[in-house]
Chain A
């Protein structure tokens, strides 16, 4: 029986940023403070040994969720539980901290340029006092570097001596070094070529099978997301708009935004299928639209959508999925079609 306590639970989590102009400019222009709601009321659970992925447009709040989940930002509202314990309490305990690691979107900014790679990789091992003997530490570092497709000899070099993808592999090796149980991976493979990407994804899947690791995974590459995820959350303007088992999301996407996203996937087969960017303006998170935040771009929008925020509900016949859409709830959306198929739903609002 699966452990009923999820590795991670987010309950109605929100985070805003103050993006006001400097005080004097603001006073001169006679404008008030401006806040940006990067994440707004997001709830999910990640059962142990499974992978939840987050997808969605750039700026929709994925990295902010990742940073909230590992305690780099504090939520403005809501709470986060790590293995049943309040995150802040868990973070105060080194033994708990060791259990979670994050791989950052930007491998350049997260590696100390003055340290040798072997010291970068060994840092968590030392910080948590996991292996004390120098020889054993060296061996562990060599093993980690080999696992991510680098050579143990690379440990002597500095980060600037590596290419972008090689640096990303160093940050993966570092994240794995403290034997974490929960890994937050923000775009871990986007700097990697397809061959190394395949190796890293295989490694991640293998670690999950062998050691039962739990992942929160963020990627723009939907093919990669399909390979790694158990469940996928689609975010739009700081909110979850659809949360579904991975296969269901690809075979029967429901939310109009999810369907638009599937349509925008680049076409490797060069069938000449026109790739369709999600139509309309990307709305501003500073002044989000009323009602359903997707309504200015949605071909199915009606008066109710402009006024009333839809709740996350399971659509008929898909009990494992939740979708925040009035059209789906009312059963007036067209039948779902698999990813890559033409998802266009009439031309009303989607002026391209």
Chain B
């Protein structure tokens, strides 16, 4: 398959993360399911790549593949993942585990699986820092309290000795964020880091993540359903559908002037803040099951612009002028061309 460059080559330092043609498969009794198929993108130092898409699109799977924590029997069946130029998709467990703590910080969608219910939050932070950084017990405890303050836990010095179940959902989520950041990794893979948080704490966490990206050059993959968070935080956005990248480009273009019909439907589904509506717009139908991904363009059964070619040939990412979209409307050779304006343009 051809190598897809998701943006023009610039000078400057090389990307921290490169994902090329990633393919993830799940062998099952009824045959092999392809959960990710030809996923490619990269993230530069200090850059935040937002990843959006319907539930089940493969966002968490992509994150899990990068940090080497695919749940068996899932496995990487093709492509490569590079961290600072070094391949990490084929590393054995032990070296990958060291990279995971030190160079990649992971914030999972599910805070309960990251936190050990038997240890206090302070102990978990201290152990993580001491595994990766050279710190005395005293220093580590001070820093643990500092991190809890940074993620907005009130009375951090008093609550550092609490157990996870004594915290609210959003507070646990913030502890998970502190855990991922405390070893100062180069790459942060954040899966829904702010969903459990109120808008104000969310603003604070986002400011913290952006500051880390800017000051320390940390690269970040940010998976979220919250388009507001994406609009504020991400530099570029990748839109995923059925295990593939449907569109990728600068955040403003993707959110305000989407080029892929799927992205367009997704943006139209966002509930308005300034009024109440009787019925919310959505995309008709549902994402296909992994065992029944349609031939050609995976979105074709739901696409309002579908034409013959879409049902036969799978589109690669094509240049749309602003973004890159996997849609035949942007191939000059297609019999049908993109409509002048999508709704949001």
Contacts and interface: CB of A to CB of B under 8 A. Distances in A.
Which of B170, B200, B227 counts the most chain A CB atoms within 10 A?
B200
Interface stretch (A82-90, A127-135, A278-286, A324-332): A278-286
A63 B169 contact: yes
B256 interface: yes
Given A57-B200, A220-B198, A164 B55 contact: yes
A197 B269 contact: yes
Given A106-B169, A222-B199, A277-B204, A266 B274 contact: no
A304 interface: no
A34 B161 CA distance: 13
A201 B280 contact: yes
Interface on chain B toward A: helix, strand, loop, or mixed SS?
Answer: loop
Interface string A255-279: 0000011001111111000011110
Given A56-B198, A163-B60, A264-B200, A198 B171 contact: no
Interface string B153-183: 0110010011000111111011000000000
B201 interface: yes
How many B residues are at the interface, by size bracket? 35 or more
Given A57-B200, A191-B195, A268-B227, A196 B54 contact: yes
Interface stretch (A1-9, A94-102, A223-231, A307-315): A223-231
B319 to A, nearest CB: 23
A34 to B, nearest CB: 8
Interface string B319-344: 00000000000000000000000000
Contact of A58 (B109, B198, B232, B277): B198
Interface string A181-203: 00000010011111111110110
Contacts of A108: 110, 112-113
Contacts of A55: 198
Contact of B232 (A153, A166, A275): A275
Contacts of B55: 163-166, 169, 191-193, 196
Given A163-B60, A282-B152, A340 B226 contact: no
A194 B225 contact: yes
A164 B196 contact: no
A293 B171 CA distance: 20
A126 interface: no
Interface stretch (B10-18, B213-221, B282-290): B282-290
Contacts of B231: 266-270
A151 interface: yes
Interface in B184-230: 192, 195-204, 207, 225-229
Which of A150, A194, A221, A276 counts the most chain B CB atoms within 10 A?
A194
Contacts of A196: 54-55, 282
A160 interface: yes
A21 interface: yes
Nearest to B158: A286
B101 interface: no
Given A163-B60, A191-B225, A275 B203 contact: yes
A202 B282 contact: yes
Given A57-B200, A58-B198, A277-B203, A195 B282 contact: yes
Contacts of B202: 220, 264, 266
Nearest to B277: A227
A267 B274 contact: no
Interface string B67-107: 00001000000000000000000000000000000000000
A108 to B, nearest CB: 5
B199 A282 contact: no
Nearest to B109: A164
Contacts of A52: none
A198 B282 contact: yes
A204 B250 CA distance: 35
B8 interface: no
Nearest to A64: B168
Which of B199, B204, B228, B231 counts the most chain A CB atoms within 10 A?
B199
Contacts of B166: 17, 19
Contacts of A165: 54-56, 225
A169 B112 CA distance: 19
Interface in A224-253: 224, 226-227, 246-247, 250
Which of B168, B173, B255 counts the most chain A CB atoms within 10 A?
B168
Contact of A266 (B56, B174, B204, B229): B229
A194 B55 CA distance: 9
Interface in A9-63: 17, 19, 21, 34, 55-59, 63
Given A198-B269, A266-B232, A285-B154, A193 B198 contact: no
A260 B200 contact: yes
Interface of A: 17, 19, 21, 34, 55-59, 63, 105-106, 108-109, 149-151, 153-154, 160, 162-166, 169, 187, 190-199, 201-202, 205, 220-224, 226-227, 246-247, 250, 260-261, 264-270, 275-278, 281-287, 338-340
Ordered nearest first, which 4 A-B pairs have the shortest CB separation? Answer: A165-B55, A58-B170, A266-B228, A284-B155
